[in-house]
Amino acid sequence: MGKFRRVPVGIVGASGYGGVQLVRLLMDHPEVELVYLGDESSIGKSFGDLYPHLAHATNLLIEAVEPEIIAPRCEVVFLSLPNGLACQIAPKLLEKGCKVLDLSADYRFSNLTTYTNWYGIERSDRTIAATAVYGLPELYRDRIAEAQLVGCPGSYPTASLLALSPLLKQGLIVPETAIIDAKSGTSSSGRQPQTNLLLAEADNSIAAYNIGRHRHTPEIEQICSDLAGHELMIQFTPHLIPMVRGILATVYATMRDPGLVRDDLITIFSAFYRNSPWVKICGSGVYPQTKWANGSNLCYIGVEVDPRTGRVIVMSAIDNLVKGQAGQAIQCLNLMMGWDETLGLPKLGFYP
């Protein structure tokens, strides 16, 4: 006899771009049933009112964000909320037995002082936060599988860390020389209207922003320090480019062994990610494009060596809303539930 039970899941913060990606992906997941959508700003509206292109696919109504409503119905809850809100509701959901995946920054930091310094939010949930696992499966797969609370990475850190991890873990670079130059589409900033995201402002232009103070910097530094085995500071500069989806992170670093060539690095990266189905290492002389990853949970990585400067250059391309957000959260869910890591996730992107 077949298995009929599907795991009931809910989404808090369903009206944003992360929320709508979760709805789209979870509705196609063979092991789950989407039973709850919550958002305080849209209570009583149908999800189709917010996203008419999905009106034919779901008739769920947006409900109040109350743990007493959510927990009896949901085994798993995704929190797609602004920073500082997930930490108010997650402890209550965990107490009631739910598994929680947070897409904000609230549970990404092992040191909450760092979180407070960068996000300006005081916390009273230190005991709960200490149990959270950083949700980058390619690095922390075993820990995620045992977790009740996962802090899913930001999109910039995902692309950047996947490019840097083999270099730091294998001791191939001088860690302090690492520089990340990253570019993102406008959807990374969410659905709330902002002047700099207007078509007239963003189109036909590219601009760096939050130089030296972007909030993803300490998140990147935390994991890089873990990989290197000592505290690191990383130079990270983000740029906004006039497209909707995608992130390209280009990483530069000085190699410890200047005798390594491109094919050596490709072999090392391929071995490092041999058990990571969502990371694809490009062949010699092939450099990834964001369009390749569009709509998929894939990360494409290209590697080059500049023998003149002794530097390695690594390029990492992802869809910021899938591998950089909702897709990665579902990848973590699969691990937490003991399912295949690729279950219910798009294996190929939209092209062109």
> Which residue type occupies 313?
I
Positions of CATH 3.40.50.720 in the chain: 7-152+325-337
* Residue position matching structure tokens 């740029």: 239
CB contact at 8 A, 272 and 170:
yes
CATH classification for the domain delimited by 7-152+325-337, as one of 3.30.70.1060, 3.30.360.10, 3.40.50.720, 3.90.110.10: 3.40.50.720
The token duo for 168 is 């730091």
Whole-number pLDDT of residue 78: 98
Positions of CATH 3.30.360.10 in the chain: 155-318
- Looking at residue 297, the DSSP 8-state letter turns out to be S
Whole-number pLDDT of residue 351: 86
Whole-number pLDDT of residue 46: 92
CATH number of 155-318: 3.30.360.10
- Looking at residue 135, the DSSP 8-state letter turns out to be -
Distance CA 2, CA 311 (A): 55
Can you list the residues of the chain whose pLDDT is less than 50? Answer: 1-2
Whole-number pLDDT of residue 189: 73
The token duo for 197 is 């995201």
The separation between CA 313 and the C-alpha centre of its own chain, rounded to angstroms, equals: 22
Whole-number pLDDT of residue 200: 81
Whole-number pLDDT of residue 23: 95
> Which residue type occupies 178?
A
Whole-number pLDDT of residue 4: 63
